[in-house]
Every structure is written in C-alpha cells, then in structure tokens.
Amino acid sequence: MSNILHPNLNFKEPTLDVRGKPNKRWRSAFAAIYSARALYSLLNQKKEKRRKLPVPSSSPSYVVLNVKPEAFSSIDQTTLTAIAKEKNLDLLLQFGLEESKDVALRREAFGSNTYQRPRAKRLTQFLVTASKNHTVSLLLFAALSLGFGIKEHGLKEGWYDGGSIFVAVILAISVSAVSNFRQNRLFETLSKVSSNINVEVIRDGHRQQISIFEIVVGDVVCLIIGDQVPADGLLLDGHSLKVDESCLTGESEHVEINSRHNPFLFSGTKVVGGYAQMLVTSVGMNTTWGELMSTISRNINEQTPLQARLNKLTSSIGKAGLAVAFLVVVALLVRYFTGNTENEKGNQEFIGRSTKVDDMVNSMVRIIATAVTIGLVAIPEGLPLAVAVILSYSMNRMMADQAMVRKLSACETMGSATTICTDKTGTLTLNQMKVTKFLLGKSHVDDSSSISKNLLNLIRQGIALNTSGSNYRATSVSTLLEFSGSPTEKAILSWAVQELDNMKMETLKKNCTILHVEAFNSEKKRSGVSIRSKADNTIHVHWKGAAEIILAMCSSYYDASGSTNDMDDNERTIFEQIIEGMAASSLRCLALAHTQIPDDQEEHDIGAGPPQKLIKEDSLSLIGLVGIKDPCRLGVRKAVEDCQSAGVSVRMITGDNVFTARAIATECRILRPDQDMNDESVVKGEVFRNYTQDERMEKVDKIRVMARSSPFDKLLMVQCLKQKGHVVAVTRDGTNDAPSLKEADIGLCMGIRGTKVAKESSDIIILDDSFVSIATVLGWGRCVYNNIQKIIQLKLTVIIAALVINVVAAVLDHEIPFTVLKLLWVNLIMDTLGALALAIEQPTKDLMEKPPVSLSTQPLITNIMWKNILVQALYQIVVILILQFSGESILGVNKKVKDTMILNTSVLCQVFNQVNARKLEKKNVFKGMHKNKLFLGIIGITIILKAIVVESLSKFADTERLSLGQWGACMGIAVLSLPIGWVVKCIHV
C-alpha cells in the first residue's frame, strides 16, 4: 500500500497500525527513523523554496509506504538519532515506514557516510616547524653578518653575505617543509584509501558491492563474520549474530543481536559470529562512531625505529661537533690575545690596549663565525629529511606494487624478516574455486539423474539453506545467475545450480522455515542449520564443513538410491582414504551430512538447552563429499624460492587438512617433492597445540606446514618463532586472525579477502592478495634500509671531511675554506638532491641474495661503511688542505679563485661519491645505473646548479668565475673518488 506525499505534505492514505507480533513492529518502525528526517528536511526545503520562488503548479511525487502521520508530530531528528543510541525499543515501536528507493534524496536528507576529521595541517604549519631546527642561530648569525657587512662595505656591497645566508636558510626551510607537507598528504591519501572498503548491500533486488562511503539511510547491508558495521542500523534478518562493541563501550563481552530484545547495530562495532541483514538508520556524523572519529586523527608523525636511531646518531654527532667548536674557539681566542694572529696586511691583530674596539669586535665576530661554522658542519640536519624522502618514495612505489603501508615502521622491519607465515587460500592460490568432484556415499557422481528424488532434495536443502551466500540475476532481463558469498560458498552454489537439476534457492527457502543456524567459523570449520519443512512439518538438520570433521559426526551414510547404511570402522576407514586421496590431488574436501529429528525430540532440541546445542551434532548420515579445486597462482613458486634464497623461510598455516596442505606446499616449493612424510615439517594445529612448551620450542624451526590450524594455533606459532629470535611476518585475512597479526613483527593483511578487523590489525595491506606481492614487499623493505645506509655513508663523509678541514684550517691558518654561506649552499644541494638520488634506488637481485639484517643487533653503520667513509673523507681532507695552504702557488691563481675551486672540488667529490654509494659492497658501482634515468638526471641537475652558483651568482654565493681549465682540474680531482672507491672495496674487513 503506497501513499503519495504531495508538496503540502498531506497524505492520501494514512497508515497502518503497528500492533501485531513484536518482530513485525520494529520492521515497520525502522523507516520512521530515517523518513521523519526526510520529511523534516523536505518540509524545510519547501519552505525555503516558497520564500524565494512562486509555488509551482505541479511537483514530483514522493513515494512513502505505511506512513503513520501522527507519529511525526512531536519528534525531530535529534530524538530519532537518540532512539538508536539509547536502544529505546519502546519508543521505536511507535513508528512505522518502509524503504525509499531514491538514493540521492536519502543522501541529501540524512547526509553521506563520511566523518568530519580534524583539519589537515597546512603548509604554513610545516614551515613553522621546519624553522625551529637550528634556524634561529643561523638567522641570528645572518643578521650579525648582514649588519657587519653593511658597516664594513656599505649597503651596496655589504648585504651579500648576510642576505645570501637569509636566502639559503629560507630555501632550506622551504625544502624541508614542502617535503614533510607532501609526506603528510601521502599519509592522508593512504588513510582514505585504507578506509574506503567495499560492503555488500541489497539494491534493486540483488546484492552488490559499493563503497562504504556510498551507504545511505535505508540501505540493506549484508553482514558476515569479520565485517565492521558500516553505519547505525536495525537487524532485519539474521542468525546467531554477535558483535563486539568494545570500541564503543569498553566491554569485552560479545553482544547478541536479535529481533525481540536488541535489534540495534552500531557503526564501528565488529561482527564476531553469525550473519545478518541490517537496515541503515543513521550514517556519518549522525552515528556514535562518527562523533568519536571526528575527534581522532591518524598519527602521521609516527617515528620509525630507524628514525629514532638516526636521531640519536644525529644528536651524538652534533654534540661532538659542538665540543670541537668550543675547543677551536678557545684555541683561537688564546692565539688572538697572545698576539699570534695577523690581519690581511700581515700585521699583528692584537696589540694590547692599542687595539681598536672596532677591530677587536670584528675579530671576535670572525672567531664566533668560525665556531658557528664548525658547529653547523657537525650537525647532520639533512639525515631526517633524507629518511623522510626515502620512506615517502618507497611507500609510493610499494603502492604501485600492490602493497599499501599502514605503519611506517613496517617498511624497515620487513627488510629484517626471517620468516613469513602465510595463508594458503587466495595468497598462494588464486581463490578461484570450482567443484571438480562429487561423491555420493562412496560412488562418484557425474549426473544428478542417477540420484533418487528424495535424496536430491536433501542435497539441495543442505546447500541452499546451510549457506551465507546467495544467487541473483544482475538485471530483470538477465538469464545468467550471479553468486555472492565466500569463494567456497559461491563454488558450491554455482555447482548446485548447474549440476543438481537447476536448484532454485528461493523456492527452497519458501518451502522451509529456518529454526536455528550455526554459522561457519575458522575454529569449528563447519556450519549447520535446522529447518522445518512446511509440507509435512518435519524437522531436518544439515551440516556442511571440513570432510574429516563432518565424517566424525556421522554414524551412517546415504547411497545413490537414498537408502542409509550403517558406518562401521571398515567403512569409516574407506571414507578416510577417499578424503586423503582427494586432498592429495590438491582438492579442498567438504562433506554434507543430514539427519531428521524424531517427533518426540522436537521440543527438547528446539526449545531447550544453550544455543550451541540447538542443532544435533551426532549420529548424522553422510550425504556426500565435494572436492573443490583452487589452482596455485602464477609466479608463487619463484617468489617462494626468492624468499628462501634471501634467507627467509616460508611457512604455510592453513585450515585445510594435512594432505591438501602438503600437496599445495609441495607445488609451491615450500616443501621439497622428495621430502620425507615423517620429518616433522608438516604438523596439525591440534598436535602443535598439545605439545609442551619445550617441545614446541624444539620443533618450531622444523615446521613448514601447519594444517587444520585454529587462530590460537597461529598465534602460538608466531609467539614461539619470536621467542626463538625470528622476525616474523604473518599474512592473514580473518577477524580471528587479528591477535596473530598484532603479535607478529609485521602483519600483512589481504586487501581483497581481508576483513575490516584484520586490516585494522595489520601493518601492510597486500592489495592483490598475492604472495608474489609479499616477496616484492620483502625486497622493498631491504631496499629502504639499504638506501638509508647509503645516505648515512654519503652524509658522514661530507661531515667528517668538512669538520676536519675547517678545524685544521682554523687552527693553523685562522681562516676556514667552508664559510657558513658556502656550507648552506652545499647542504641545500646535497641534502635535497643527494638524498633524492639515492632514495630512488629500487630493489635489486643482490639485496635478495643477502641474509636478513637484524635491526636490533646489527649496527647502523657497518665496518664496510666505516671503511668507505674514512677513506673517502681522508682523500677529500688531503686534497682540500693542499689546495687551502698551497693552492695559489700550485695552480697559479688568486685567493678568490682558489676558494671557489675548493668549494667546487668538494661538491664534485660528493657527486662522484654518490655514484660510489650506490653499491656499499660491490665493486661495479655502474651496474644498472643506465636504467635509472632519474638518478642520472639528478646528478646532471646537481652539476648544472653548481655551475650556475659559480658562474652566475658569484657575488651572491661569494665565488669567482672559473675557466674551462680550472673546471677540468676540479673535475679531475673529484673523479679520482671512483677508482679510490674501487680499491677500497677490494680490501676486506
């Protein structure tokens, strides 16, 4: 019965009384929660339009069903939202209305399913943050330099040094702020991507996948175990539904949802049992979860363990540099006041009381400038920026390689992984399941015509009613059925519809009443249903699940004629051998079982006892065995072998039986084809669980496959491996896998099959669910660590060389070759471009041939790195000091040209040292460089920028233009860094 709602909001047919069965009342009432809001919103819109526009002669009609007009006379949107939040069942039962089909109208009336998060930081905030890092002292020095420069040389010429420092500082701040700003935006983007999950709703008469953000009030959402409830709503239909509301209430006890006492579902809670259909009543900011999320923002300032170690290293180096600077100041002051320093004309600077105050002040400023310069040299402020560049670039590239990083630390930790515990279905296999074998009793069945009619009907019941899946037609004119549900459910439903004489699920559901459902879960590995046939009022129980588990519940079996036969020990052994044979062929083996409840047991079985005893679990009759094939993914075998050659062991933890698990593991090369059956490499979860702690610790290293495992077994395995010193990566997809994902050093969740709960517990989401992508992530993890080491080597070489050169020159010559201005320009070029050049290095085969790196025990700077650093720094120190003390006579140039050549040579040495740093251990540093066009481009840009600074910004950068011969000399000295690096790598340490 429909009512047409005209613009004046008069109803042609006022409504339906809601008196009746309790479970019908709230079904009528749910719509009031959103329709009242719609009416309220539309009324306001109409009022606004009447103020601005003439009333139109006609307007579109709005279809509303079962309206009770008086229900809206004393209630508003706030009260309606409160009904759900306060679980006010009495007030809810006063209203009644059904779903509107206009999605756009509902979105306009009640809002979208999005949350108002705290505003993202603006670029100006990052500029302020960046300016706090050693910038105050630099700006103070720049101001002093500007003042004294103007005083000494006049405004026209004296502003260059101080002004240049100001410009360089501003550029450095800008580069750092923009880099951090982009990283912040990257995290915001990744957060949105990870939040944008697909949910299954019923629209236009069939199930379809939509984004969680597209849900509107009035949608019917399908929920299964592992789902996060996407909005506030009411239970429409479902069985054995339990949710975890701890995120809202803090209570760990699971809440049962039912139609009689508690039909309320809240956004953000998690389904831990059963399945259901929910009607959405509130979305976005109108939900309790929305209000909570509006006050929470993701921690985008997360500091990784490696960043923490780098900060400690930076602090230590900085303190050492400041100590050296202090000693230099003391030494220079002693030299000055003892009369051992001379000015540019060769005269003694300090001559006691005869020294002018201005001259003394200028000398003090010069000494302080020298100390500040030495202190600045020793502060590797570019390291944190370089690491941020590496992590940002790597996260972007990993996203392109089907891996979305949720926690920055996982980028580094993954490179240290020593073992990967992986799931089978969908990770090693394609998750494209198809029924390839069906046995009725002990006989293989190819054609359903050979099955008796009664038994065929029982098989159809057991498949169509004992499932969380469904079938539907995509359009009203479509002839092809589509299936929803898990891959296993879809495979069985598809097979049943095609092979079991065109099974019709809707007809079967109409002919039966479902009494109780035990939904499938990964612990029991079975699902059951009890039904009452409307035709003869008999009660039937159907079970479906892992073959050996269902077989243990059976005492008889059906044959093709529909007769039942007792199952003795010999018969049971035959069935076990059949199951083992199917599993050895890489088939997932499921069993169907049935029993009819006698009339004298109906009342006891249906109305008494705890819920888990409502469905009979013993003395069943085995109907048949179903074999499902799930092929291995292409490339999995090579990916497993690559991990093994990298020193990372791969372990498969699966719920399948031991024979299927062994067959798949052998196909993927987790096990060798000739591996002994009794070498303890394959174990059942129950067996592992029953070991003593000492036995588990003794055997865990040998285990490569764990079959028939429960979530607790997975967690136990991870704990044992960590206690043995392993760095463990775990791939899982289910709600019950959350503990093992959190316990692991790196939690890898499947992006396609993974539940919302599992994704929230993970560190990295594998977007394509493939083990090949996991192996790629392993390579990227090692690449991140390796690239950071390269930048540390490059930066420390610059620091040590510049620090020693400045100290020696200051003490012996009381003039330093690297002034504050020159150092700022060098750091600006090298910290930004140098970091970027090494940050873009991608994973190589060489990295996957090395053993894992231990972040906790192995030093950040290895002996090989120290060897490279010290030799290159020594070469630069010797060359620059020779140029400093004898460059004018050797090269036949004046002091200004000599200083420029020193700066030029130093920068070019760092450029060629970047090439050396590409390979920390390998002698051939050019291998693969021609493929990295971005690296070559950055090297070219660095040289071009240096040429511009020298040739075009001579006054601004305090340099002198050089001739081609002088450029050639600088280049020749710098290029010697390459053969020196080759010789150094021939020396083993």
Known catalytic residues are 423
**Which residue reads 């501003």 in tokens?**
170
**Which residue reads 């049971």 in tokens?**
572
Query: Among 439, 520, 504, 435, which Cα is nearest to 471's?
Result: 504
Q: Sort 664 into a burial class: Cβ within 10 Å, 0-12 / 13-18 / 19+.
A: buried
Angle between helices 895-917 and 933-952 (to 10 degrees): 170
Q: What share of the chain is helix, strand, coil (3-state, %, to 5)?
A: 50, 15, 30
Could you give phi then psi for residue 511, rounded to 5 degrees?
Answer: -85, -5
Torsion of CA 312, 315, 320, 324, to 10 degrees: 170
Cβ density class 887-918: b for 16+ within 10 Å, e for less: beeeeebeeebbbbbbbbbbbbbbbbbbbbbb
Tokens encoding 336: 């000055």
First-last CA distance in the chain: 88
- What are the counts of helices (DSSP H) followed by strands (DSSP E) for the chain? 33, 28
Task: Tell me how far apart the alpha carbons of residues 801 and 794 are, in angstroms, rounded to a whole number.
Answer: 11
Q: Which amino acid is at 160?
A: Y
Q: Contacts for 159-165 with beta carbons within 8 Å, 24 or more apart?
A: 160/955, 160/956, 160/958, 161/821, 161/958, 163/956, 164/821, 164/956, 164/957, 164/958, 165/138, 165/141, 165/820, 165/821, 165/824
Within a 13 Å sphere around the CA of 760, how many CA atoms are in the beta-carbon half?
15
Give the three-class secondary structure for 954: coil
Could you give phi then psi for residue 283, rounded to 5 degrees?
Answer: -130, 165
Return the CA Rg of the chain: 37
| 8-state DSSP, 480 | S
List of E strands, 467-580: 470-473, 481-484, 512-518, 526-533, 539-546, 554-558, 564-566
Task: Tell me how far apart the alpha carbons of residues 784 and 415 are, in angstroms, rounded to a whole number.
Answer: 8
Instruction: Write the CA distances from 901 to 107, 545, 905, integer angstroms.
Output: 68, 79, 6
Query: Residues 517, 528: contact at Cβ < 8 Å?
Result: yes
CA 552 to chain centre: 41
**β-strands 746-750, 764-766 pairing:** parallel
Angle between helices 977-985 and 863-891 (to 10 degrees): 150
Q: Please, which residues bridge with residue 228 across strands?
A: 270
Instruction: Write the CA distances from 970 to 903, 967, 977, integer angstroms.
Output: 9, 5, 12
Count other Cβ atoms within 10 Å, centred on residue 94: 16
Task: Tell me how far apart the alpha carbons of residues 139 and 156 are, in angstroms, rounded to a whole number.
Answer: 21
Could you give phi then psi for residue 407, rounded to 5 degrees?
Answer: -130, 125
**H-type alpha helices, 338-429:** 357-377, 382-400, 409-413
Give the three-class secondary structure for 417: coil
Task: Tell me how far apart the alpha carbons of residues 282 and 234 are, in angstroms, rounded to a whole number.
Answer: 10
Task: Tell me how far apart the alpha carbons of residues 455 and 441 are, in angstroms, rounded to a whole number.
Answer: 11
